[in-house]
Amino acid sequence: MRNKDFSHFGLLEEHQEYVDVRIEPSKEAMFDGYNFGSRLLEGVIFIAKIEEDTSISVRVSDDSKDYFEELNQKLWLGRALKFVLENDVFEDMETGDDVGLIKLDGTYNN
């Protein structure tokens, strides 16, 4: 899957009415490692960031670093990136509400 041409995390305008607060576009979103690592990564929070070149990078949150250091980081960061590229529902960094991965063409990733 291509890791390029991403704009932001957020909601398309027509979906804003379904949330209590307005979700502002953001270059970062978070997700739980349980989504792709089952119980081994349950509670490990990953952060996806859209870089200036429109690609995505992933890292673990500061709160999860100590536990994550004990694991095969290269393997799990690779799987985290694959998860981001294949999905479109994440959590807003400020509100925790669901947000999608928006491409430069103004559509959701999937």
Mean pLDDT for 2-22 is: 89
Per-residue pLDDT, 19:
83
Q: What's the burial of 66, exposed, middle or buried (CB within 10 Å: 0-12/13-18/19+)?
A: exposed
Assessment of whether the complete model's pTM goes beyond 0.85: yes
13 — pLDDT class (breaks 50, 70, 90)? confident
C-alpha to C-alpha distance for 6 and 39, rounded to whole angstroms? 30
pLDDT-derived band of residue 60, with 50, 70 and 90 as boundaries?
very high
Measured CA angle at 10 (ends 91, 68), to 5 deg? 30
Residue 108 per-residue DSSP state:
B
- Per-residue tokens: 75: 């393997």
